[in-house]
Structure 1
Amino acid sequence: MSMSIINPSSFTLVIFSFTLVLALAMLFLIVKKPKEQLPPGPRGWPIIGNLFHMIMNRPVHVWIHRSMEDMQTEIACFRFARVRVITVTSSEIAREVLREKDEALADRSESYSSNLISHGYKEIVFSSYGENWKLMKKMMTTKLMSPTTLNKTLGDRTLEADNIVTYVFNLPQPGCINVRDIALTYCHAVMMRMMFGQRHFDVAAEDGGLGPKEKEHMDAIYRALDCFFSFNVTDYLPFLRGWNIDNEEEEVREAVDILNRCNDPIIHERMHSWRNKGGKETEEDWLDILITLKDDQGMPLFTFDEIRAQCKDINVATIDNTMNNVEWTIPEMLNNPGILEKATTELDVVVGKDRLVQESDIPQLNYIKACSRESFRLHPANAFMPPHGARQDTTLAGYFVPKGSQILVSRLGLGRNPNIWDEPNVFKPERHLSGHVGNSMDVTLMEPEMRFVIFSTGRRGCAGTKIGTSMTIMLLARLLQGFEWTLPNDKSQVELVPADSNLFMAKPLLACAKPRLAPTLYPKIQV
């Protein structure tokens, strides 16, 4: 057959297929089977390993957990082409990953989405372990998340806690309220005020909700997160990047472009103000701190790209956990009226009905925190923690872990592990009031024993545990204190079904909210 009678698309496909087979064959020759014993795993194909199974079994986390159950193991090894992915559902092995072998497993894996979100790994969440990462982590811990900074921004958080109860109060009554919309409005507003010192990108929404640009920004954050947590072929076959073979590349490019269009003008303007006009008298938000930090020579510590990468870190890190936790906790309570009554009674006793709950009340709201912990256990935002990368050969649970392996600690597997939890699929906040977490006077959202995952621990642990706790408990407590929640008339139970792309509720929660405080306690919205 002459070349002239092959149409261009078919010829491209032939060349692509030939290149793929050749590249995989070369990879197969490079990959050496370790002499030491790897964790158990499903039988794979030559060259590609379990890659075909990964492609054909979506969502992948369901297939992985089902495979581990079939093998009756709490640690497993899946091979996707030349990459070994080791999954863990045991608290003992999770502690080994995040404590004993923390430094050896402190790397991150590269992917198209993480590279794009982080502007070439110029931030803390996605970048590899090293000196630059240590500098970023120190800055995050001692500057952005310091007690001094968090105390300075308390007024912003309180303002948005006030705004959210009034926003719900002003919604048409009676009627169903979209709880996810409420949670997203609060989370985005708090994040914007703490990072940029303003609630909106341009025009404020008249009703106190998210404006069009904020909604677009929020949607882009979640699209970027979904792409990062997806199991994409190009994560394991980097030479295929750029072909957009599973549409994820185009998706994450569009999401990052939106984030840049929203964030960059504010960053440019603020950098110009500080560096060319002398700046403001004091640092008022996280962006001010990032811009004004200096190195040992008195020069700006971070470039524009590093600052915009850090801002996107904050975008993706401050949104999903709080929203997801509150949206799952309220329906669990609606399905268990006794739990809902206990939570509101605690608020009435600790806070009363003549003032709104404040962050200073959180230490005493132990039952509310127990409900939040239980929801984090049962309903994590994603099935796995971000992958840890092996910087060197090591072992886990006595099995060999080769350098370059990815380790995925399963949020879902830990939280619902029957070897850890009695009645693991039942919502029982009381389990967190026992001696397992100290005593009933000291309930926190930390889980150092890794029986389930909220903020993680170790070198890659979340630097924002305090702000994460404050945001989650304040939103939940304000909604429970301010309103009497009931199901729509045609519902007797909430259907608790997770989505496929993440573990959010498959359908946003719709519920009825009747004000339970005096009208004067719902302050005017401040935008």
Structure 2
Amino acid sequence: MHRWLYGKRCEEADHMMRYVYNQCQSPIIDGLVNEWRMEAPDWKRNEQIHGIFTILKYVYGLGIADYLPWLEVFDLDGHKTILKYAIKSDSNKNPLLSIEEIKAEIIEIMLAAVDNPSNAVEWILAEMINQPNILHRTCQELDQVVGRDRLVDESDLSKLNYVKACVKEAFRLHPIVPFNVPHVSSKDTIVGGYFIPKGSQVLLSRLGLGRNPRIWEDPLVYKPERHIVNKESEVVLVDHELRMLSFSTGRRGCPGIVLGSTMTTILLARLIQGFSWTAPPNGPSNIDLVESEGDMVKAMPLIAHAVPRLEPHVYSKLVS
């Protein structure tokens, strides 16, 4: 399984790099980002931009069966087939999964497998733009270990200690949710002098552990150096002393720890290596770091100025 996934974990980073690079090369986005004046008149440029966003709106909302109902029986999107197997009945004619359980599983998959890596990278970029010295040190490490003639690969990650420290610091300071998935105690037990009766729901606070001032100096400051003990030691993204929870823990811990942490690290490394990041030219010099009320994601999505920092041929396999 691990061998099959090797290399596949870079695909998400490839997609993100391709997207950012294409935006930089697009004449319309180029005009918006770099403030270059385009030859087209304002009304024509506005018409083009409006057309692009109109297309995007309908591309993601298109369902062929919505317009040709007779095609609905073929389940072209495959959604009915997936749900059919998910709610299949057992020997007692009871569904294996209820609608509520399916919803819960989907939310958990989105939070853990999709939103967790992207949330961490978004926070890291925001913190780095506000602290250019961290961004500069990260670029230096990537240039020394990987160089500028090729893209960083999964095999390079073991040598990118500072990059991993940046990821670990984001897991500590900016978890996507304040609590882990609830656990239920199977019997009466005592933990840290506290009696926990059987059947109790136990919540582990990722926020409370990661920002505990008794454990972390300046807990609200993004400081990757705190995770580097010395030059010889390798940064491990999972804290076995449970001073923080980057993922779940215990026998029912997240099975995708290696996959999730690797995807996060390679995505960050590719974005930092491939582009120079700054705050938008016409906006505030610092990125707003306010968290949303319902969860721990940024209240406002990150808007940043990206400029390719590698030679064009390095991006060739991404845009081909």
Name the TM-score class by shorter chain: 0.7 to 0.9
- Tell me what 2:41 maps to: none
- Tell me what 1:264 maps to: 79
Whether the aligned pair in 1 keeps the contact of 2:121 and 2:167 (CA below 8 Å) is yes
Residue 271 of structure 2 is aligned to residue 491 of structure 1: no
Q: Cα distance, 1:456 vs. partner?
A: 2.5
Q: Cα distance, 1:393 vs. partner?
A: 1.7
- Tell me what 2:312 maps to: 519
- After TM superposition, list the pairs within 5 Å mapping 1:67-78 onto structure 2: none
Q: 1:446 to 1:175 in 2, by over 3 A?
A: farther
Residue 229 of structure 2 is aligned to residue 418 of structure 1: no
Residue 30 of structure 2 is aligned to residue 173 of structure 1: yes
Alignment deviations for residues 262-308 of structure 1 (CA, whole Å, 9 cap, x no partner) = 66356489x8xxxxxxxxxxxxxxxxxxxxxxxxxxxxxxx9869x9
Q: Cα distance, 1:155 vs. partner?
A: 4.0
Cα distance in 2 for partners of 1:314, 1:410 equals: 19
- Tell me what 1:482 maps to: 274
Matching residue's letter, 2:8: D
- After TM superposition, list the pairs within 5 Å mapping 1:262-301 onto structure 2: 264-265=79-80, 267=82
Give the SS at the match of 1:409: coil
Q: 1:174 to 1:329 in 2, by over 3 A?
A: farther
- Tell me what 2:226 maps to: 431
Residue 131 of structure 2 is aligned to residue 336 of structure 1: yes
Alignment deviations for residues 198-256 of structure 1 (CA, whole Å, 9 cap, x no partner) = xxxxxxxxx99x96169xxxxxxxxxxxxxxxxxxxxxxxxxxxxxxxxxxxxxxxxxx
Alignment deviations for residues 6-54 of structure 1 (CA, whole Å, 9 cap, x no partner) = xxxxxxxxxxxxxxxxxxxxxxxxxxxxxxxxxxxxxxxxxxxxxxxxx
- Tell me what 2:239 maps to: 447
Cα distance in 1 for partners of 2:80, 2:111 equals: 19
Cα distance in 1 for partners of 2:76, 2:120 equals: 29
Whether the aligned pair in 2 keeps the contact of 1:166 and 1:523 (CA below 8 Å) is no
Matching residue's letter, 1:469: S
Cα distance in 1 for partners of 2:161, 2:285 equals: 28
Cα distance in 2 for partners of 1:263, 1:407 equals: 37
Provide the aligned length of Structure 1 versus Structure 2. Answer: 268
Cα distance in 1 for partners of 2:256, 2:211 equals: 25
Q: Cα distance, 1:364 vs. partner?
A: 0.7
Greater Cα shift, 354-363 or 387-396: 387-396
Alignment deviations for residues 310-363 of structure 1 (CA, whole Å, 9 cap, x no partner) = 984644431121011001001111111100000011000111000001111111
Q: 1:524 to 1:350 in 2, by over 3 A?
A: closer
- Tell me what 2:192 maps to: 397
Cα distance in 2 for partners of 1:366, 1:263 equals: 42
Residue 220 of structure 2 is aligned to residue 372 of structure 1: no
Cα distance in 2 for partners of 1:165, 1:338 equals: 23
Greater Cα shift, 403-412 or 417-426: 403-412
Whether the aligned pair in 2 keeps the contact of 1:163 and 1:523 (CA below 8 Å) is no
Q: Cα distance, 1:420 vs. partner?
A: 0.2
Whether the aligned pair in 2 keeps the contact of 1:418 and 1:424 (CA below 8 Å) is yes
- Tell me what 2:298 maps to: 505
Q: Percent identity?
A: 45
Q: Cα distance, 1:398 vs. partner?
A: 1.5
Q: Cα distance, 1:399 vs. partner?
A: 2.1
- Tell me what 2:16 maps to: 164
Q: Which of 436, 440, 457 is the matching residue for 2:249?
A: 457
Q: Cα distance, 1:440 vs. partner?
A: 4.5
Give the SS at the match of 1:383: coil
Whether the aligned pair in 2 keeps the contact of 1:150 and 1:467 (CA below 8 Å) is no
Q: 1:397 to 1:174 in 2, by over 3 A?
A: farther
Q: 1:349 to 1:161 in 2, by over 3 A?
A: same
Q: Which of 260, 264, 288 is the matching residue for 1:472?
A: 264
Q: 1:526 to 1:482 in 2, by over 3 A?
A: closer
Whether the aligned pair in 2 keeps the contact of 1:374 and 1:429 (CA below 8 Å) is yes
Whether the aligned pair in 2 keeps the contact of 1:176 and 1:511 (CA below 8 Å) is no
Q: Which has the larger radius of gyration?
A: 1
Give the SS at the match of 2:140: helix
Q: 1:213 to 1:153 in 2, by over 3 A?
A: farther
Q: 1:212 to 1:343 in 2, by over 3 A?
A: same
Whether the aligned pair in 2 keeps the contact of 1:387 and 1:408 (CA below 8 Å) is yes
**Aligned-pair RMSD on alpha carbons?**
3.2
Matching residue's letter, 1:173: D
Cα distance in 2 for partners of 1:162, 1:449 equals: 34
Residue ranges of structure 1 left out of the alignment (5+ in a row): 1-148, 178-206, 215-259, 272-302
Matching residue's letter, 2:117: T
Cα distance in 1 for partners of 2:138, 2:7 equals: 26
Whether the aligned pair in 1 keeps the contact of 2:164 and 2:237 (CA below 8 Å) is yes
Cα distance in 2 for partners of 1:213, 1:322 equals: 25
Cα distance in 1 for partners of 2:105, 2:319 equals: 24
Q: Cα distance, 1:416 vs. partner?
A: 0.9
Q: 1:434 to 1:320 in 2, by over 3 A?
A: same
Q: 1:395 to 1:441 in 2, by over 3 A?
A: closer
Q: 1:158 to 1:397 in 2, by over 3 A?
A: closer
- After TM superposition, list the pairs within 5 Å mapping 1:25-44 onto structure 2: none
Whether the aligned pair in 1 keeps the contact of 2:17 and 2:318 (CA below 8 Å) is no
- After TM superposition, list the pairs within 5 Å mapping 1:10-159 onto structure 2: 149-159=1-11
Give the alignment's TM-score, normalised by structure 2. Answer: 0.75
Alignment deviations for residues 370-395 of structure 1 (CA, whole Å, 9 cap, x no partner) = 01111111111011111111222222
- Tell me what 1:189 maps to: none
Whether the aligned pair in 2 keeps the contact of 1:499 and 1:506 (CA below 8 Å) is yes
Q: 1:261 to 1:403 in 2, by over 3 A?
A: farther
Matching residue's letter, 1:492: S
